[in-house]
Amino acid sequence: MDKAIHRQKVLLQHLNPSSSSIHDNDSSSTSLNASACLAGDSAAYHRTASFGDDVVIVAAYRTALCKAKRGGFKDTHPDDLLAPVLKAVVEKTNLNPSEVGDIVVGSVLGAGSQRASECRMAAFYAGFPETVPVRTVNRQCSSGLQAVADVAAAIRAGFYDIGIGAGLESMTTNPMAWDGSVNPKVEMFEQARNCLLPMGVTSENVANRFGVSRKEQDEAAVESHKRAAAATASGRFKDEIVPVSTKIVDPKTGEEKSVTISVDDGIRPNATLADLSKLKAVFKKDGTTTAGNSSQVTDGAGAVLLMKRSIAVQKGLPILGVFRSFVAVGVDPAIMGVGPAAAIPVAVKAAGLQLDDIDLFEINEAFASQFVYCRNKLGLDSQKINVNGGAMAIGHPLGATGARCVATLLHEMKKRGKDCRFGVISMCIGTGMGAAAVFERGDSVDELRNARVGDNLYLSKDAR
């Protein structure tokens, strides 16, 4: 109690920096640096809402990610991918499923009404009662993150106190394809026409326009596999992956084999620069984008359980992370891969932070060209980005990637502890957009919000 009273005195002094000193319980005087207390933009976000109204994440899980048509989930129905992660977020938190206000699932390739029905079916498989509604959302590659953001926004708006943001994609079941004819009007609008460009062509555009070399791209791919392999070998992903019991059918004999999938199967531990340099460009004769430096076509799912902090505290649930900000921005469709470079600064500013405040980044590796460009454009430390590998190694199940990244980021931040406070997730989006969100490690703030009191009594975010 004495410590809490002392901290309140410090905060009050911060609000009135003209005073030159405060007194602790021993009546000893300590100087307070007023300029450091005037944290400005760095404190802006943290003082906009009451502590108990924070939207927090208490659980985030994903399936393993498997190669489409060839991997562990090639014979698994989409709803059977989603159900295990929905079940995990409530079972592992001992939450009554009936308390969930909504389940929002990001999905891209599945037909709208059919995928919506599959998601509702998955909720029933997972033990949710009929009273819990389900809907889908599609913002291309950011759909899983958009689902999490939509739930966070609904909680902030007071629509409900507890919700699940999820993501699902079976690229085995639903390959990328255009259904029906294209409106000829598109020829009259260049940007509309560029929405139809194959994603690999936009990758070539980024590499050509911004001078990203083939070697840089292949080096990024090798590093992604190296990090993902190391993370897998050391058990880094075990806390976030939910094992899925399913079947694999032998394509020649039709024989079914029961299996449990718990490891990402697209990682190539022995990938080398020499091997990748031998691969031919796929989208342009003299291009630089290859199968080796692009994201993998993947099956997988993820789910994130969000609620008001006051509810989490009331239930005694550990807080994995705090949802701080989200943005989606538009960019030129012809170079859609630059999306993260446009979105990340906006999201970070919205959280009242600066890029240097971010300790970890999960930036989706749709293509090495755009990943390298965004990293270089923002001047990011490569040791802070995709520390456990990214989509070139793990895979990119379009609608599930955002939810997968939330699970990966928050579990890694938890492992790193006090040295890792803020994290960012971002991805480019087909047709020319980018999305980004900022998260804070769950145990790094208290009711004084960004007041991290050090020996010098600074109350700024920089106090360590």
Catalytic residues: 141, 396, 428
- Residue 274, C-beta contacts closer than 8 angstroms, at least 6 positions apart: none
Determine the Cα angle at 316 with ends 97 and 421, to 5°.
105
C-beta separation of 227 from 384 below 8 A: no
Q: Read off φ and ψ for residue 40, nearest 5 degrees.
A: 60, -135
Alpha helix locations (H) across 295-400? 309-315, 339-350, 368-378, 391-394
Alpha carbons 163 and 407: distance in angstroms, whole number = 16
DSSP string, 137-171: E-BTBTHHHHHHHHHHHHHHHTS-SEEEEEEEEET
Q: CA nearest 24: which of 37, 46, 45, 8?
A: 8
Alpha carbons 118 and 28: distance in angstroms, whole number = 65
Q: CA nearest 139: which of 131, 148, 152?
A: 148
C-beta separation of 240 from 299 below 8 A: no
C-beta separation of 191 from 333 below 8 A: yes
> Exposed, middle or buried by CB within 10 Å (0-12, 13-18, 19+), for 239?
middle
- Give how far Cα 456 sits from Cα of 306, 410, 462, Å: 35, 30, 12
- Ranges of beta strands (E only) in 222-267 are 244-249, 256-261
Amino acid residing at 210? F
